Structure 1
Amino acid sequence: MSILWENILITMLAFGILYWLLNKFAFGKLFAVMEQRRQLVLGQLEDAKNTKEQATIYVEEQKNALDQARKEAYEIIEQSKQSSSKQARDLLEQAKQDATRLKNEAINDIESERNKAVESLRSEIGAFSVNIASKLIEREVENNPAEQEKLVNQYLEEVGNKS
């Protein structure tokens, strides 16, 4: 096998010309496109990193907001329980006061009615007593004229002493 120096020289010359042409017309544009692609990928990676950080921050904020909402809901529930307990106590106290007031009014009404009945009975008993006494005196006076004169004198003495 013999080495053909001419073929090697032509091949090297063709390769050099091809390299020079590629370098002049193709490599610049090709490397520029590759650099743009590299910059685009780096930018997308940076955006993805920022988005991930923002998402992490947002998730933490949402967790904190959810915890805060749970705490507020628990506080509202506790306040509602306390408020309803206070209202129940107030209503119970008001009912007790109303019952006591109604009881006292009923006792006063009963006492008033009792006093009226006693007064009515006294006046009726007084009237009956006067009526009975007058009938007894009438019998005594009719049967005994001396007694009648004695009663008149006694009455006149009492009236005279009062003047």
Structure 2
Amino acid sequence: MLDFQPWTIFFTIVNLLILYFFFRKFLFGRINAVLEQREELIKSQISEAEENNSKAAALKQEYETKLAGAREEAAQLVTDAKNRADQAYADRMAQAEADAKKTAVEAEARIAAERSEMMRQARGEVARLAVMAATEVAGKRLDTDSDRALAEEFLAKVGEEQ
């Protein structure tokens, strides 16, 4: 059977207390120091991570601001280029229209000059024919310049009446 001896129990308790104080003095102090050091390291890493997160957020905000500015600038450049292109198109269309009007005026002037030249030549030919016809009718030759001038004057009067 088991037999309990008070002195054994007493020495066991004393040994346990000595062992506890010994561990506390030499082992727990070092373990607590390592744990505190580890806790400090973790706290510093957490604060560093928070700083990095705040810096990243600031950089992200700056990037987004610059990106928005770049987009706005690009849109402004596109708008300016479109406006310049529209202005250049309008200028070229106005120039083309002016050139077309000038060409039309020149063509009308050329046509009028050619018409008057043709009319002058036709009158001269008709005057010549009239003189020839009058010569045939009169039976004599009319070649003088005054006869031709008279016939041209007559044709001019007839042309004006029409």
Please report the TM-score for the alignment, with normalisation by the length of structure 1: 0.71
Counterpart AA for 1:93 = D
Instruction: Indicate whether 1:84 and 2:70 are aligned.
Output: no
Per the alignment, residue 73 of structure 2 pairs with: 75
Using the TM superposition, give the Cα deviation of residue 63 of structure 1 relative to its aligned residue in structure 2, in angstroms: 0.5
Runs of 4+ in 1 over 4 A off after TM superposition: 13-16
Corresponding position: 1:135 with 2:133: yes
Higher relative contact order (CA 8 A, sep 6+): 2
Deviations 1:80-129 (A, max 9, x none): 11221111011111011011112211221222122122211211111011
Q: CA deviation at 1:132?
A: 0.5
Shift of 1:14: 5.0
Corresponding position: 1:63 with 2:65? no
- The equivalent residue for 1:95 is 93
Alignment of 1:13-162 (within 5 A): 15-24=13-22, 26-27=23-24, 28-142=26-140
Query: For 2:88 and 2:58, how far apart are their aligned partners in 1?
Result: 44
Letter in 1 for 2:41: G
User: Gapped runs of 5+ residues in structure 2?
Assistant: 1-5, 146-162
Unaligned runs of at least 5 residues, structure 1? 1-6, 143-147, 156-163
**Alpha-carbon displacement from aligned partner over 1:45-64 (angstroms, at most 9, x marks no partner):** 11000110111011011101
Residue 77 of structure 1 aligns to which amino acid in structure 2?
A
Alpha-carbon distance in 1 for matches of 2:14, 2:108: 134
TM-score, structure 2 normalization: 0.71
- Once residues 15 and 44 of structure 1 are traced to their aligned partners in structure 2, the CA distance between those partners, rounded to angstroms, is 39
Distance 2:137 2:16 in 1: 173
**CA drift at 1:19:** 3.2
CA distance in 2, matches of 1:69, 1:135: 95
1:159 is matched with none
Identity %: 10
Alpha-carbon distance, 1:77 to partner: 1.0
